[in-house]
Amino acid sequence: MWRIYFVFLFSFNFNALVAQIFINQLGYKPDLPKFFYTNINASSFQIIEENTNLVHYEGSLTLISNRDPATGMLIKKGDFSTFNISGRYFIKLNTNDTSYHFNISDNVFNDLLNKSLKAFYFQRCGSQLFYQHAGVYQRATCHQNDGFYHSSTGQTGFKLSRGGWHDAGDYGKYVVNAGITLGTLLMAYELFPEYFSSDSLNIPESGNGIPDLLDEIKYEILWLLTMQAEDGAVFHKLTKEQFESFVMPSQDSGIRYIYQKSSTATGNFIAVLSRFYRVYRSYDSTFANQCLTAAINAWNWLSNQSGIVPPGGFKNPQGTYTGEYGDNNDSDERLWAAVELFESTGLSEYREYYEFNYTFALINSTMNWQNVRTLAHLTYLFSNQPSANQSIKSQLYNSLLVYSNNLVNKRNSNGFGITLNPGEYYWGSNSIVLNNGIILLLAYLKSQNQTYKNVALEQLNYVIGCNAHNLSFVTGVGIKYPKKPHHRPSEADGIAEPIPGLIVGGPNQYLDDPILQQYFNQNTPPALCYIDHLQSWASNEIAINWNAPLVLLAGFFNGSFTSNVDNKNEDEFNKFNYNFELEQNFPNPFNSQTVIRYTINSNDNSKLFRVNLRVTNLLGETVFNISEGYKTPGSYHILLDSAEFNFNKFPSGIYFYQLSVNENHKTKKMIFLK
């Protein structure tokens, strides 16, 4: 009986079935597209300013789907992209339903970037986290005895391998997953160094003159170097035999093992060590060279292995149940290793390896830890090496556009504008969405086609609130976010708030854990198969390789498309590309009525300008206000009628009328004669 009631409760108390307005919970940048979704069958909406309750924008809702296949919901969309005035607002539908309050501001993604990057610091293994940097999440050091050779290595004894990041909700360290994580973070820095230059993230290395992103990456790189054997090969992982219980990392006792060498781990190692060399050599050429040498030694081992190592790919030995990161195909890891070495050295050996092997598949998949082929292709496509083959680059470019168009098509049939079809809500679906966003962003960089950029932004908006759960999937970011992530320190520290900046895996229609199976079934729409539950590791765990694409997209949209329209600095006036004219009122002098005309000129006729008109006396005091609200460029006239404005109560004499357009003002004299 209890059980039946329990299921009933959760079947019908479900967020997605409640009438809601789904917004980007961080807010919107003035110069980027702005939209929201709702499952309420309304027809129009208003954007209302929080402080004044004034309506600043009105629009119609567009029906996206009567029954969206991914969510089973009616979905309507509101677009207020042309409204670009900074401020704090909420949405009100014609049904009187209202949204969360949100900002329109150039800074809306700043918090997301800082927290998603700082999250890597909170994953640090082998270091004490001090209050100065970690605040209430300070903790003692952990895992000082990493690690002992597992018997499957054929070796015995201990190899010092401290440091690096805990991989996910557990405390293991896995070279394969470190690979795609670092590959993504390094791509972010290589493509947009100006957006990731912050040296003030408040980590121990802040203020050292090196971007904190690179400092954080180096923390993992230093660990990776310890995972290399003398022959150049790289051990697959460093974990316990079984997952830890939910204790703080410093309380986690028991032997942690270094497992067998693998060719997939070695390929990842080569790729990220050589990539790190490129971005780090200008800061510390000695250490950068050490990284490149390690990568070359690893390549020399890997290129002598005719097949995958171990045969069939790495498998957990009997008695080991921690993450496996199994993969029976190492051709993509080898390709990525070769192309990163080529990009770092320009040597023909590596270029030829890539050019002999790249055609197996062009850009036709989204990168994940098991398949890094697309990461290899993207490095070649963006190569700065003069010997890179232009014809291959154009093949890669074409395949990037074809694949991106395919993603745009998926987005067009998805109720929330994400690049997944029903059937593709796999474990970690949020990271697939974000990695698709990266591919679209790169297509935009190469083509300057705005559609790719806008769809990339939609992928980011989805994970921070534009989704059926009305949830930001990132802890500590937005208004409503996961409180019970499958993340050991967030649970074991006794602090109610989870460690911030961590994105959870998200909807998983394949119900890969008992909690998902308890709450959902085959008939649940795929996008709804998510629950904020501590033990739903298949929908609510966190992972370093899921945070990395979040950092890239947050950093890009934080750093780019910064508005210059609503800047309050008068010195910026000339950059605004607008002007306005205020005409003499007619008739003048006037008695019962007069007309005031003005014109706003801009090179962008979709821009909105804040317009206000007021009448003042000789002392500059306001006699009455004629609030005009927001206007697009054009000519306007206002009839000043005593019947409406009741100015007959004021004395005859000289007055002024002042027009304000955004932060700028023009004033003219007028004469009132009773």
Residues labelled as active-site residues: 170, 486, 532, 541
Cis ω for the linkage preceding 69 (within 30 of 0): no
- Token representation of residue 415: 């109720």
Closest to 373 (Cα-Cα) out of 332, 328, 329, 402: 332
- Token representation of residue 419: 């690049």
Cα–Cα–Cα angle for 346, 349, 352, rounded to 5 degrees: 95
Any residues with CB less than 8 A from the CB of 194 and at least 6 apart, and which?
559
Which is nearer to Ca ion, 212 or 424 (by Cβ)? 212
State the CB neighbour count (10 A cutoff) for residue 421: 14
Separation between Cα atoms, residue 150 and residue 340, nearest integer Å: 31
Q: Using CB distances below 5 to 8 A depending on partner kind, what does residue 215 bind out of Ca ion, Zn ion, none? A: Ca ion
Q: Does 327 bind Ca ion (CB under 5 A)?
A: yes
Closest separation in Å from C-beta 354 to Ca ion: 16
- Token representation of residue 182: 């670092």
Residue 593 β-bridge partners: 641
**Interacting span for Zn ion (CB under 5 A) from 149-157, 246-254, 304-312, 467-475:** 246-254
- Token representation of residue 611: 């317009």
**Interacting span for Ca ion (CB under 5 A) from 168-176, 197-205, 315-323, 566-574:** 197-205
- Which string of x and - marks every residue 403-442 that binds Ca ion (by CB under 5 A)? ----------------------------------------
Separation between Cα atoms, residue 332 and residue 370, nearest integer Å: 9
Closest separation in Å from C-beta 329 to Ca ion: 5
Q: Is 89 helix (H, G, I), strand (E, B) or coil?
A: strand
Q: Does 541 bind Ca ion (CB under 5 A)?
A: no
- Token representation of residue 48: 């209302």
Which is nearer to Zn ion, 143 or 484 (by Cβ)? 143
Closest to 625 (Cα-Cα) out of 646, 609, 607, 608: 646
Residue 76 β-bridge partners: 38, 63
Q: Using CB distances below 5 to 8 A depending on partner kind, what does residue 329 bind out of Ca ion, Zn ion, none? A: Ca ion
Q: Does 249 bind Zn ion (CB under 5 A)?
A: yes
Q: Does 143 bind Zn ion (CB under 5 A)?
A: yes
Q: Does 138 bind Ca ion (CB under 5 A)?
A: no
Q: Does 205 bind Ca ion (CB under 5 A)?
A: yes
Q: Which residues of 251-274 are buried (b: 16+ CB within 10 A; e: fewer)?
A: ebeeebbbbbbbbbbbbbbbbbbb
Q: Using CB distances below 5 to 8 A depending on partner kind, what does residue 68 bind out of Ca ion, Zn ion, none? A: none
Which is nearer to Ca ion, 205 or 340 (by Cβ)? 205
Distance of alpha carbon 430 from the chain centroid: 10
Using CB under 5 A, which residues numbered 262 to 321 contact Zn ion? none
Residue 62 β-bridge partners: 77
Closest separation in Å from C-beta 114 to Ca ion: 14
Which is nearer to Zn ion, 125 or 439 (by Cβ)? 125
Give me the DSSP letters along 330-393: -HHHHHHHHHHHHHHH--HHHHHHHHHHGGG--S-S--BTTB-HHHHHHHHHT---TTS-HHHH
Q: Does 512 bind Ca ion (CB under 5 A)?
A: no
Among 17, 54, 74, 210, binds Ca ion (CB under 5 A): 210
> How many residues of this chain interact with Ca ion, rule: CB under 5 A?
9
Closest separation in Å from C-beta 211 to Ca ion: 6
Q: Using CB distances below 5 to 8 A depending on partner kind, what does residue 143 bind out of Zn ion, Ca ion, none? A: Zn ion
Closest separation in Å from C-beta 545 to Zn ion: 18
Q: Does 169 bind Zn ion (CB under 5 A)?
A: no
- Token representation of residue 479: 């208004």
Closest separation in Å from C-beta 277 to Ca ion: 18
Closest separation in Å from C-beta 638 to Ca ion: 55
Which is nearer to Zn ion, 170 or 424 (by Cβ)? 170
Using CB under 5 A, which residues numbered 215 to 254 contact Ca ion? 215
Q: Using CB distances below 5 to 8 A depending on partner kind, what does residue 327 bind out of Ca ion, Zn ion, none? A: Ca ion
Among 142, 339, 439, 552, binds Zn ion (CB under 5 A): 142
Q: Using CB distances below 5 to 8 A depending on partner kind, what does residue 142 bind out of Zn ion, Ca ion, none? A: Zn ion
Q: Using CB distances below 5 to 8 A depending on partner kind, what does residue 125 bind out of Ca ion, Zn ion, none? A: Zn ion
Which is nearer to Zn ion, 129 or 298 (by Cβ)? 129
What one-letter code names the amino acid at 32? L
Cα–Cα–Cα angle for 423, 6, 531, rounded to 5 degrees: 35
Q: Does 199 bind Ca ion (CB under 5 A)?
A: yes
Q: Does 208 bind Ca ion (CB under 5 A)?
A: yes
State the CB neighbour count (10 A cutoff) for residue 436: 26
Q: Which residues of 23-45 are buried (b: 16+ CB within 10 A; e: fewer)?
A: bbbbbbbbbbbbbbbbbbebeeb
Which is nearer to Zn ion, 40 or 142 (by Cβ)? 142
Q: Using CB distances below 5 to 8 A depending on partner kind, what does residue 205 bind out of Ca ion, Zn ion, none? A: Ca ion
Using CB under 5 A, which residues numbered 82 to 141 contact Zn ion? 125
Closest to 538 (Cα-Cα) out of 510, 575, 518: 510
Q: Does 458 bind Ca ion (CB under 5 A)?
A: no
Cβ(505)–Cβ(546) below 8 Å: yes
Q: Using CB distances below 5 to 8 A depending on partner kind, what does residue 220 bind out of Ca ion, Zn ion, none? A: none
- Which string of x and - marks every residue 364-393 that binds Ca ion (by CB under 5 A)? ------------------------------
Which is nearer to Zn ion, 61 or 225 (by Cβ)? 225
Q: What's the N-to-C CA distance of the chain in angstroms?
A: 83
- What is the Cβ-side half-sphere exposure of residue 32, based on CA atoms within 13 angstroms? 27
Q: Does 168 bind Zn ion (CB under 5 A)?
A: no
- Token representation of residue 144: 């000082």
Q: Using CB distances below 5 to 8 A depending on partner kind, what does residue 111 bind out of Ca ion, Zn ion, none? A: none
Closest separation in Å from C-beta 198 to Ca ion: 8
Closest separation in Å from C-beta 163 to Zn ion: 9
Among 111, 170, 212, 513, binds Ca ion (CB under 5 A): 212
Cβ(664)–Cβ(573) below 8 Å: yes
- Token representation of residue 136: 């209430």
Separation between Cα atoms, residue 51 and residue 137, nearest integer Å: 35
Closest to 552 (Cα-Cα) out of 385, 405, 375: 375
257-258 sheet: strands from edge to edge: 148-149, 257-258, 237-239, 173-174
Which is nearer to Ca ion, 329 or 591 (by Cβ)? 329
Which is nearer to Ca ion, 372 or 554 (by Cβ)? 372
> How many residues of this chain interact with Zn ion, rule: CB under 5 A?
4
Q: Does 606 bind Ca ion (CB under 5 A)?
A: no
Q: Using CB distances below 5 to 8 A depending on partner kind, what does residue 294 bind out of Ca ion, Zn ion, none? A: none
Separation between Cα atoms, residue 180 and residue 368, nearest integer Å: 7
| Closest residue to Zn ion in the complex (CB) | 125
Q: Using CB distances below 5 to 8 A depending on partner kind, what does residue 210 bind out of Ca ion, Zn ion, none? A: Ca ion
Binding site for Zn ion (CB under 5 A): 125, 142-143, 249
Binding site for Ca ion (CB under 5 A): 199, 205, 208, 210, 212, 215, 327, 329, 332
